[in-house]
Amino acid sequence: MRILEMKVTPCAITDPPLRSAFGLHAPYALRSIIELVTDNGLVGLSETHGGTAVLHDLELARPLVIGMDPAHLTSLEVALDGRQAGKPGSGSLPGGYLEQSRLTLPTLIFGAIEVACLDLLGQYAGLPLCDLLGGRYRDEVPFSAYLFYKHAGLGGSDGFAGESQAAKHRNDFLVRQALSAGELVDQALEMCARHGFQSLKLKGGVLSPEEEVRTILALREAFGPQTPLRIDPNGYWSVETAIKYGRQLEGVLEYFEDPVSGKANMGQVAREVNIPLATNMCCTSFPEIPETLQTGAVQIILSDHHIWGGLHNSVKLAKICQTWNLGLSMHSNTHFGISLLAMTHLAAAIPNLTYACDTHYPWQVEEVIEGGKLEFSGGSLKVPDQPGLGAKLDQAALAQLHENYLRCGITRRDDVLEMQKIEPGWKLRFW
């Protein structure tokens, strides 16, 4: 099997005005959809981050992808990385690898291509993708409710979701403002009633730590101690703030995600607060793992196949976590069903997935795969039985989402700029 064609389609998906320490989500979030077409007529799908830097790197990778056997992923990874290339006995490398080492995001680009190749191999073998990752360990994958402080509105403007979708959702959590503890509890109750999530994560670093602790305690009051809670200030609390407010949340949080920035600071908080610390910020690559362990920075790593170099590398990360007695959860960005299915196959094949995965999926109303939005049941997604990822592209939806991209004028994410549009002079701040 050889890859004959690589189609990359930049898309913009309607995204509500969600808040984080970084600012405000823009009306559209960018994603890149990848289709690999083979000489035997199969089409492998993948989805990764959007924006011009990613699109530029995908174009640099194209000459290596065209003509390759989708099973020969190791050579592609080495070639894209460049740093490991040329060692004696390293076997044949695709031509032009030195040229490709100019990629700024080689790990992300490899991960994006790898998922599409594994989709192809699964289709070719007649096996669901999880069975290429060691095999299905669970039939359903649990996800958590991802709660955000937000402004009123659905996002978008004149695109696919547009006015009619906003009208349809006018009274629900997708559109309503949530800027207080009470409004956050209402958001959580509605999201969980709709999707059945059994655990809750609050994006923090937005309001004062006092207000965010109040929100967590209100969620505890509303949902009871059987519902695990997390908060993620994205590294925008000081060490003093994290210790002070973390201690107030001992016995309440299942984990404390990136309260502070950097491994040494995380290690300091970990020694002072009796809650496991988690990260998708201070350890996001294999070379960072030794220092992460040495500093005692975290007890849980949030994997992300987009960031860690694909699904096989994420399985390797899981093994390292198991070896070093670290917990494992999963990070998410705004995404379509293609990424959700890849996350689900990965989680299905990892025995030591110790926490429900994050997902932004309930915040989006559009979908790019046939059949529309995937449905959670009891907060979990069923692992597909079909070969590969188990999805086909809806070409009409893809065309519309690409049209959104062309019309929205956004070429890279800038949450600070979006925040300044509604609060002139707004700046990033450490609490």
| Smallest separation (angstroms) from Mg ion to the CB of 147 | 13
Please say which residue, 282 or 349, places its beta carbon nearer to Mg ion.
282
Catalytic residue among 49, 150, 151, 331: 331
Question: With respect to Mg ion, which residue has the nearer C-beta, 354 or 400?
Answer: 354
CB of 257 to Mg ion, least distance (A): 5
Between 114 and 232, whose beta carbon lies closer to Mg ion?
232
Scan for tokens 């800038």, then name that residue.
Answer: 414
Question: Please, which residue, 47 or 232, has the CB nearer to Mg ion?
Answer: 232
Q: For residue 331, indicate whether it is catalytic.
A: yes
Nearest distance from C-beta of residue 304 to Mg ion, angstroms: 10
Residues that bind Mg ion (CB under 5 A): 232, 280
Distance CA 369, CA 396 (A): 10
Catalytic residue, from 25, 49, 201, 203: name it.
203
CB of 332 to Mg ion, least distance (A): 9
In the complex, minimum distance from the CB of residue 335 to Mg ion, in angstroms, rounded to a whole number: 15
Nearer to Mg ion, 94 or 259 (CB): 259
* 120 vs 283, beta carbon nearer Mg ion: 283
User: Is 169 in the active site?
Assistant: no
* Distance of closest approach, residue 22 Cβ to Mg ion, in angstroms: 11
From residue 221, give the alpha-carbon distance in Å to each of 149, 169, 217, 278.
Answer: 18, 27, 6, 24
Query: Where in the sequence numbering do the catalytic residues fall?
Result: 203, 331
